[in-house]
Structure 1
């Protein structure tokens, strides 16, 4: 009798893990597409000749669109079905990837990246929320979330590596076209292996809240990006104020809705607030570090994309390994303490980049990326676990939408703030073009100008990564002194247990 009962249970477990394997496909693609362009930008710039502002939008618009739509898409998935929205999003993502691969101009590429962001916003919350359906048992769910986070964080780290390999053999559009076969696998096996899940009783989606959230997030992000890159001007300040007012109206509306788009009560749980702060600051620092070091390896040291990608392998491996083990580390030291340790390691890794110079210090880059990667991997795993375990399964999509929004917002702000800070320091170092690549391209045989520009870029990179380290250390201090929140021993406090 026991063996008869065990066989269906074992079959269910195998089906669940097969379903997880399918869910990892969109996660890997979405996270890869955050960073895959870092190495492709120099080659892409030669083909499409985008302006400095267009370059930033090519990098930023993807993350900004995801950030603006994740909360909405997480709620929509809870209502219409997480598998439904996952497969619809995969279709949109695939079409947009093909459009990006063959974009004839910078404007078309920006539009395609925006459409990819729309598709990506459906993929992340639905895939992570489906884990709570596939794995109802706590320990198995914690392991599955660790695997999911490892692929999410690992995808962002491995994106430049895959990009480097593709760019060594093909044209820049190949970094987008590789998405197509992976998405076809998802569309073929998703309906067979993934269970459908929607909330049993949920009110109608409040479209006023949807418009207020998108209308609030995007103007604020744009204003911050523009002010950081171009300096103070009244139109950008006005746009930022409009966004702040719309977000204020959004938050006030959520307090009076029976079924809000954003469940503000989650932020009264101490660990949930800690997790959201850690993911935002962590992704901000990681995005800035990854982008600047990718430019450094190619435009300063003269390495080609493949050589640059190979140097990123140690950091990518460490991110993956520590994402897998983050839950176990959290159980040993406690969630709050582990957050502090992880953020501290990430800060130290950023500071180690101060050893990198124009004519040496590659060892410092590799060591810094390894130390920072360990910290980021641990922290991001805990963020995902806290998000899923903070709410009942029928609200998982909403909670995951909040946590993933913080990841995407951090990614976009990292490129905008730290990238713009580095650019500001670079331009102040001499009579250079708007970017290092542009300066080198127009310098001709003026070796003194090229050397000066490279030194100025390295200085800007040092300033920006040090700023990232300061933000990480500040967040670690906030976590250390944060109260547990109420209820004191809610599900989030028991992450991974």
Structure 2
């Protein structure tokens, strides 16, 4: 049975309660992206993972999420958006319990993979259901802005919440906190959310599902390995495999009557520009967030709670600007708003260049807050573009595309910018692979400690400049293309 879209000229109160329920999975999935930024030292002490296992503990969540978002968005359109939302919540809750009780790194990696699968089921369905809850464009735009605010704000608040929990409890608490939220979602969703499935769905092409995953995973692996170790036969082979699979995937989508990924969406200028701008913004933001977590703890010497609290201004700004983003766009126009947002992101990152090994608290707060205002607006634009660019029965698939672009870009940002900063740090002296290891081995030697911190900050500054360059180049390209289109 398919319920009709809820809402009329003015959205009923039940729709807003439904939106409140949808914010629960969005917040959980977003927090999971960054909640371990402060948690790895605790996990290292408890589980003693290898260097390779540490990387997979962090990365496997984003890999599984990015590889399955498009598929799960399409699947939700076909079998029911509320149904796949509830199934995803169940997977996410069980995986959270498994992660919190993991006795070794292998079990933790497995649990993080299932968290990614659960999130891939939750995110597209939650965004697509907004189209069913709100039929009028004004209410829908407000709802999308709130959805984006919780997604972007949740990712920004992940380190804050994780750091606060780690200060009081053991490392498993950052996963166990998900369980009561999931239980509330499972109880409330059947009463407040409508079910919706596409009335005349085409078959879900399993070959396309496999091709997409086989393209995404090798390409991310190749990017990470190239940034960390340079180009070698293994990296080249993975890149060629990913590109070949991607080419096969694109060719297949062009031939299918009901493709897994509707490439025609990218011919819509607003959608394409929003995806491009938000993707580059996500790359810059994830690199900034990852590196500044290390900066606060290992350079400024903050404990985990103080380091977490310093992230509150940025998280609050991201949340507020995401809520206001759609309204700003309606007043200034999409192109001007996106350029303004990219400019704020670039400016905030440039302010961070004033940080040093000896001081920089004020510069960090100021720079991250300015950048956060730009990132929030960007992410609200890509979500609004995804929902408004397609008919209601394709909203899940479009949401999957937009979220995939953000997740892939976030993973690439951490991989490339984080690896670049680490490589430059190691070249700064006879240091251990990471700054925290170097400080432990320094045994209180002030000269080594200051030299290592200075080397890390130098690497962070260069990586930040690379991110700024990508943001500025994207802004220039959008401005030029828009000018040409207007002629």
d(CA) in 2 for partners of 1:299, 1:42: 11
**Correspondence for 2:390:** 391
d(CA) in 2 for partners of 1:400, 1:10: 24
d(CA) in 1 for partners of 2:481, 2:411: 26
**Correspondence for 2:243:** 244
Q: Is the 8 A contact 1:270 1:483 kept in 2?
A: no
Per-residue CA deviation, residues 320-343 of structure 1 (Å, 9 max, x unaligned), is: 111110011101110011111101
Q: Secondary structure at the match of 1:261?
A: coil
d(CA) in 2 for partners of 1:391, 1:10: 20
**Correspondence for 2:355:** 356
Q: Is the 8 A contact 1:275 1:382 kept in 2?
A: yes
Give 1:258-407 correspondences, 5 Å limit. 258-407=257-406
Q: TM-score, normalised by structure 2?
A: 0.96
**Correspondence for 1:131:** 130
Which 4+ stretches in 1 moved above 6 angstroms? 8-12
d(CA) in 1 for partners of 2:407, 2:335: 23
Per-residue CA deviation, residues 294-352 of structure 1 (Å, 9 max, x unaligned), is: 11111111111110111111111111111110011101110011111101110111111
d(CA) in 1 for partners of 2:31, 2:372: 16
d(CA) in 2 for partners of 1:323, 1:357: 30
d(CA) in 2 for partners of 1:155, 1:313: 11
Q: 1:49: Cα distance to partner?
A: 2.7
Q: 1:12: Cα distance to partner?
A: 6.5
Give 1:405-484 correspondences, 5 Å limit. 405-483=404-482
Cα pair distance change 1:329/1:10, threshold 3 Å: closer
Q: Is the 8 A contact 1:282 1:376 kept in 2?
A: yes
**Correspondence for 2:43:** 44
**Correspondence for 2:201:** 202
Per-residue CA deviation, residues 169-203 of structure 1 (Å, 9 max, x unaligned), is: 00111111100000000000011111000100111
Q: Is the 8 A contact 1:358 1:455 kept in 2?
A: yes
**Correspondence for 1:235:** 234
**Correspondence for 1:88:** 87
Query: Which is worse superposed, 433-442 or 189-198?
Result: 433-442
Count of residue pairs the alignment pairs up: 480
**Correspondence for 1:495:** none
Q: 1:229: Cα distance to partner?
A: 1.1
Give 1:8-157 correspondences, 5 Å limit. 13-157=12-156
Q: Secondary structure at the match of 1:37?
A: coil
Gaps of 5+ in 2: 1-6
d(CA) in 2 for partners of 1:354, 1:12: 46
Q: Is the 8 A contact 2:11 2:136 kept in 1?
A: no
d(CA) in 2 for partners of 1:411, 1:451: 30
Q: 1:246: Cα distance to partner?
A: 0.5
d(CA) in 2 for partners of 1:10, 1:335: 24
C-alpha RMSD of the superposition: 1.6
d(CA) in 1 for partners of 2:148, 2:484: 25
Cα pair distance change 1:28/1:365, threshold 3 Å: same
d(CA) in 1 for partners of 2:8, 2:461: 54
Q: 1:483: Cα distance to partner?
A: 4.0
**Correspondence for 2:3:** none
d(CA) in 2 for partners of 1:115, 1:442: 36
Q: Secondary structure at the match of 1:172?
A: coil
d(CA) in 1 for partners of 2:295, 2:455: 11
d(CA) in 1 for partners of 2:320, 2:10: 28
Q: Secondary structure at the match of 1:38?
A: coil
Query: Which is worse superposed, 405-414 or 438-447?
Result: 438-447
d(CA) in 2 for partners of 1:106, 1:230: 23
d(CA) in 2 for partners of 1:263, 1:18: 32
Q: Is the 8 A contact 2:11 2:134 kept in 1?
A: no
Q: Secondary structure at the match of 2:39?
A: helix
Cα pair distance change 1:73/1:484, threshold 3 Å: farther
Q: Secondary structure at the match of 2:57?
A: helix
Q: Is the 8 A contact 1:220 1:243 kept in 2?
A: yes
d(CA) in 2 for partners of 1:396, 1:9: 19
Q: Is the 8 A contact 2:280 2:470 kept in 1?
A: yes
Gaps of 5+ in 1: 1-7, 489-497
d(CA) in 1 for partners of 2:153, 2:394: 27
Q: Is the 8 A contact 1:269 1:485 kept in 2?
A: no
Q: Is the 8 A contact 1:52 1:435 kept in 2?
A: no
d(CA) in 1 for partners of 2:248, 2:15: 41
Query: Which is worse superposed, 395-404 or 46-55?
Result: 46-55
Q: Is the 8 A contact 1:271 1:484 kept in 2?
A: no
